[in-house]
Structure 1
Amino acid sequence: MLIMSLVTTLILFVLLGSGVWIAFALIGTAWLSLAMFTSFAPGPILASDFWGSSYGWDLTALPMFIWMGEILFRSGLANNMFRGLSPWLNRLPGRLLHTNIIGSGMFAAVCGSSAATCATVGKMTVPELEKRGYDSNMAIGTLASASTLGLLIPPSIMLIVYGVVTEQSISRLFMAGIGPGALILLLFMSFLVGWALLIGNRHGGTGIADPAMSLVDKIRNSWQLLPILALIGGIIGSIYGGLASPTEAAAVGVVLAMLIARYNGHFNREIFRDSLFAAVRTATMIAFIIAGASFLTSAMGFTQIPSRLAQVIAGMGLSPTALLVALTLLLLVLGCFLDGISLILLVTSIIMPMIETAGFDLIWFGIYLVIVVEMSQITPPVGFNLFVIQGLTGKDILTITRATIPFFLLMLLAIALMYQFPAIALYLPQAM
């Protein structure tokens, strides 16, 4: 098992380091793993996984939200958002870098998808932050990390999957995700404030402060935020008003973005065409990576590496604290190779009896599990948010990974705080 794990990891890193497309690196690793360590034919498995990952209804939301972000970016609405927020964030250390964190948290509550949040918010914020002179590493680090909250803040596909397979109340899981989601946002913003005070301001990484404004001028300038707030309100309202599912709400967002852009006089045939083509390119890139990751997930299942690692930990007879530490390490390793849903299904099918014996609350454990899956979104080699950021910025994976390390550690801190104070996750569902 150890040899298989090391060889598989080596193959993946060699392919990624050779400069081939990320999807091809994932496919090549899966193909070679199946050919070397199993008797299964890789071809039929590849065809089945590519077909299975291409027609999912939930995947429909991804290109629609990306298209919405392209419209907002090209019609100037994103720039209006920055002009409206800038006076209020001008004196907060880190200034407009906080828009990545705040914007990702708000959008996560709309779509429930980490990749869609990363692509949509990134299309709006990254070009503007670079143009205004902000530190590029901190810009991509805050974006890649905060957008993972799409997996935790309701509506969350991961929590739905966990609730179904463990027979837990999905509404209680949604309520339990609010506290930890707010905690992680607070940790991210606090770190950004500290970084700006200690490092960013001295090295010019926090941009140029806008001229001071009176309160009246700030309020007048904030009218530029109304279109974005109306867009978010329309999407959230369509979901919680029962008019649309989260997937259908993505289409609502595209229509509203077009109407708002047209009303502001910044939408024409050229913007429609360019935004559509750009959205197709980005969504195709992400879908190709998802298909490759699906094939790699299947290959890992056939080699039985993940299940064997889980069985090793199950046989150790650890205390609850040691068990949680061991599980965190195991899940972070597996998260480098498996997608989030596969990771949740693996844990619930193999480890759940051990979790119940150790006395963990299953609602609390579901939130913990999703946070670990969030961390895997910014962990190479199969970190979807890293791939999305690479597609948006053209930077290499190692540079993007280094930018996310502080936020990765902050998520570990959030898990530690949640373990020490379970009420962070359990207060709201217990109060229902």
Structure 2
Amino acid sequence: MDAGSVTFLVFLFLVGFLASGTAIFVAIICTCAVSLTLFLGFDVQRLGATLARILIRSSSAWELSAIPLFIWMGEIVHRTSLVAGLFKGLAHLVRRLPGGLLHTNVIGSAMFAAVCGSSTATTATVGKIFLGELGKRGYDRSISIGSLAGSGTLGLLIPPSIIMIIYGLLAQVSIIQLFAAGILPGLLIAGLYSLYIALRTGRGSAPPPQDTEDDPISTARALLYLMPVVSLMLLVLGSIYSGYATPSESATIGVAGALLLTLLRGELTWRLLLETVQGAVPMSCTIIMLMAAAAFLSTTMGFLHIPQDVASIIGGLNLGPYALLLVLSVFYLVLGLLLDGISITVMTLPITLPLIVANGIDPLWFGIFLIVMVELAQVTPPVGFNLFVIQGISGETVLQIARHAFPFFLLMCLAAVLLAIFPQIVLWLPHALYK
């Protein structure tokens, strides 16, 4: 059977398992098992031995310990009053900007992303407080929801990002350099969002109300409200970039810092600890199972020579780097209609990474570009996770929320184009810090 037919059938198997409602982890394992048995004649014993070896090796890497720890830190912050204080401090500082308190969605999401690493957690935590506060003050609901949906995706791009850890492990790229590479693109996207808010409200299409503070505070007190989240940001990122801690060690430091802040604020209870662990464990297990399944998928692809064959086919098209990125962008946008970001990453990387390397594109740069593509998937129906999170908060339909988020979707597309034209936006900081 020729390479194209094998590749098509493997893809068909995967789509079939997913369409049947099978969990993604199980669907990947079953696809690999069927493919190895059908095309390479693996018997049960060899298949079981291969699967066991790969699952054990891929799920026991020390770097994986950062994932549950960062998720746990986000859960701790999510279930305390830190985010309410964050809104109060930001509201005072941005109230005189064009767009007023709408900027709190953008800045608050960016700041919370720096202590969380998850887009879903960022959207849920910030949205739970900020959306209600904006509604009480009479802000236009469409831009409030749209800016929250777009800004929540910054949880993937601004370090420490869980998906960066996953990409770094799968692509064998330095996680610390990925963290550094995400900072400027994250600030770029946040800046585009705030600029759009200022221009739209300044143009009169969604003018903000005259903001008044229920409890007037000084600028010094506003900064004090921001200090808990800022201190966590400095603790986690400072320990990494100063060289004192690896990403896994910094995650431990972050959890300790979050617990200490919670204790000092009088909110640390056994119930809170239990709830945060119960929230962190299921998500952590899901991600690590997907990582293990991705390793099995990558090995299966190697056995079947699919990456090499696909690379040869695309290489025969004589696509330049920009044309290849355009094709991959469309590919990821289509996948984003059906799958979550982590699943997209682990399922496609065994094929796309060899193509990227063969075309001379820096894998470090591609990691950030891929994350921007995954961010787009977070706000595209029918499976955009941020849309479902905001639906639970706002009560609006997924399609309504997607419509509100569409301008921010376009701004992310613009950011992706800028990153492709000016790759130094991604590469300058990691190269400057880690020559």
- Answer yes or no: same fold by TM over 0.5: yes
Query: Within 2, Cα distance between the matches of 1:78 and 1:226?
Result: 11
Matched with 1:145 is 153
Please say if residues 16 and 25 of structure 1, whose CA atoms lie closer than 8 Å, have aligned partners that are also in contact.
yes
Flag the 1:299–1:125 CA change in 2: closer, same or farther, 3 A. farther
Within 5 Å, which residues of 2 pair with 1:317-328?
A: 317-319=318-320, 321-326=322-327, 328=329
Q: Which residue of 2 aligns with 1:372?
A: 369
Cα deviation 1:350-402 (Å, max 9, x = unaligned): 653543xxxxxx6xx44541233214534769x9xx7875996797xx87995
Change (3 A) 1:23 1:129: farther
Residue 83 of structure 2 aligns with which residue?
78
Q: Name the residue aligned to 1:279.
A: 280
**Paired residues of 1:188 and 1:410 also in contact (CA < 8 A):** yes
For 1:182 and 1:14, how far apart are their aligned partners in 2? 40
Structure 1 residues 354 and 248: CA distance shift in structure 2, 3 A: closer
Cα contact 1:300–1:306 (8 A) shared by 2:
yes
List per-residue Cα deviations over 1:189-240 (Å, max 9, x = no partner). 44555677899949xxx9x986347985454344221222122222233333
Q: Counterpart in 1 of 2:395?
A: none
| TM-superposed deviation, 1:249 | 1.3
Alignment partner, residue 189 of structure 2: 184
Alpha-carbon distance in structure 2 between the residues aligned to 1:276 and 1:154? 17
Check 1:122–1:106 CA distance in 2 against 1; reply closer, same or farther (3 A cut): same
**Identity across aligned pairs (percent)?**
32
1:93-104 residue pairs with structure 2 within 5 A?
A: 98-99=103-104, 101-103=106-108
Alpha-carbon contact 1:123-1:392 (below 8 Å) kept: yes
For 1:97-176, what aligned pairs fall within 5 Å after superposition?
A: 98-99=103-104, 101-103=106-108, 105-106=110-111, 116-118=117-119, 120-129=121-130, 131-132=132-133, 133=135, 138=146, 141-143=149-151, 145-150=153-158, 157=165
**Where does structure 2 lack aligned partners over 5 or more consecutive residues?**
136-140, 393-397
* Distance (Å, rounded) in 1 between the aligned partners of 2:304 and 2:343: 13
Deviation of the 1:161 alpha carbon: 6.9
Q: C-alpha displacement at 1:272, in angstroms? A: 1.8
Distance in 1 between the 2:410 and 2:118 partners? 21
Distance 1:350 1:118, change over 3 A: closer
Paired residues for 1:14-413 under 5 Å: 15-40=17-42, 42-90=47-95, 98-99=103-104, 101-103=106-108, 105-106=110-111, 116-118=117-119, 120-129=121-130, 131-132=132-133, 133=135, 138=146, 141-143=149-151, 145-150=153-158, 157=165, 178-191=183-196, 201=206, 211-212=212-213, 217-319=218-320, 321-326=322-327, 328=329, 340=345, 349=354, 352-355=357-360, 365-366=362-363, 368-378=365-375, 409-413=410-414
Whole-angstrom distance in 2 between the partners of 1:171 and 1:273: 31
The SS at the match of 2:236 is helix
Contact 1:66 1:119 in 2 (8 A): no
TM-score after normalising by structure 1: 0.71
Q: How many residues in Structure 1 have an aligned counterpart in Structure 2?
A: 408
Query: Residue 179 of structure 1 contacts residue 424 of structure 1 at CA under 8 Å; is this kept in 2?
Result: yes
Change (3 A) 1:19 1:416: same
* CA RMSD after TM alignment: 4.8
Query: One-letter code of the match for 1:417?
Result: L
Structure 1 residues 419 and 246, CA, compared in 2 at 3 Å: closer, same or farther?
closer
CA contact (8 A) 2:63 2:248 kept: yes
Which residue of the partner structure matches residue 358 of structure 1? none
Change (3 A) 1:12 1:64: same
Amino acid at match of 1:231: L
Once residues 307 and 70 of structure 1 are traced to their aligned partners in structure 2, the CA distance between those partners, rounded to angstroms, is 41
Can you give the 5+ residue segments of structure 1 that lack an aligned partner in the other structure? Answer: 356-361
Taking the aligned partners of 2:205 and 2:50, their CA distance within structure 1 comes to 49
